[in-house]
Structure 1
């Protein structure tokens, strides 16, 4: 699937919600929607599939209030970002994408890498059949060379969906498996 085809799919979903969504440049924004007026626009030169999916989520949930000029940390913005990543990820997986292709997924869709990686791994990675030690072994096996610099305990905990309260246990286990003292 080409990026233009993915954009067309998302734009179609927006329009099915009754939003008049068309190419238009507005205040240097890549994409925008006003759910009260049922209109929206996007810059066809800069809007990514993520931008369109984000606006689709605003339309889907009928978000109609901004908290201020820069409300990037509002509940509605966080939800739109999360749901947009998950919707695009679902389509990506249906077309053969895997966890090994998250960077490719982000490049193709325009999703912010750190947010998408953390979200996808925490929401979609099933560790219910693995012990803490098996997860640690799986984690360190992903590295070609194991050094103090590339082992990050918080990344390990986040990757497998463990709470940060398990930090000390993870540190001890990774120390045991890697044979060196991890720098805190």
Structure 2
């Protein structure tokens, strides 16, 4: 998807929100909307980021301005963030990824530093969540394998085994008592096979 297609898609979405969104010369405003009045406009050089920003204002029912310079208005920061996330989601659905970040900036017109901070934070959170999900599973696999090797080594010292003191085994190999149940099951399996 190129910039022109993205602009068209976003303009259609704004119009689907019952906003009369018109091309024109808007006195140095690249794009603007007034959800309360159902009006909006954009200049010829408006980028996808500008349209997505205005779409965020519509979705959040932002009906007021705090002045001519809205940089301190929290609605503006939220609209920037949501516009970047919306455009990033669309970019990913089209096959884009983090290795194409510069292409994303080129196509969408997002402010580079702001987009980089938001996208990298989202990526970091996703990466941490994935690691957290699989971390326990990986630890269990490693613990089971190591535990199996320790138990085989422990058993090899005995000619005949009638009973096993699992706590003595854990102490001998400096293992946590949290592994008691896992060790007990492993001993049972190995001794039943033998």
TM-score above 0.5: yes
How far apart are the structure 2 equivalents of 1:48 and 1:10?
A: 10
How far apart are the structure 2 equivalents of 1:22 and 1:120?
A: 31
Structure 2 residue aligned with 1:6: 6
Q: How many residues align?
A: 129
How far apart are the structure 2 equivalents of 1:112 and 1:73?
A: 17
Q: In structure 2, the residue corresponding to 1:40 is in which secondary structure? A: strand
Q: Does 1:73 align with 2:108?
A: no
Q: In structure 2, the residue corresponding to 1:100 is in which secondary structure? A: helix
Q: In structure 1, the residue corresponding to 2:128 is in which secondary structure? A: coil
How far apart are the structure 2 equivalents of 1:60 and 1:124?
A: 25
Q: Bigger radius of gyration, 1 or 2?
A: 2
Structure 2 residue aligned with 1:62: 61
Q: Does 1:97 align with 2:96?
A: yes
Structure 2 residue aligned with 1:134: none
Shift of 1:73: 2.6
Structure 2 residue aligned with 1:135: none
Q: TM-score, length-normalised on structure 1?
A: 0.67
Structure 2: gaps of 5 or more residues = 133-194
How far apart are the structure 1 equivalents of 2:13 and 2:3?
A: 16
Structure 1: gaps of 5 or more residues = 131-184
Aligned CA RMSD, in angstroms, stands at 1.2
Runs ≥4 in structure 1, deviation > 4 angstroms?
none
Q: Identify the structure with the greater helix proportion.
A: 2
Q: TM-score, length-normalised on structure 2?
A: 0.64
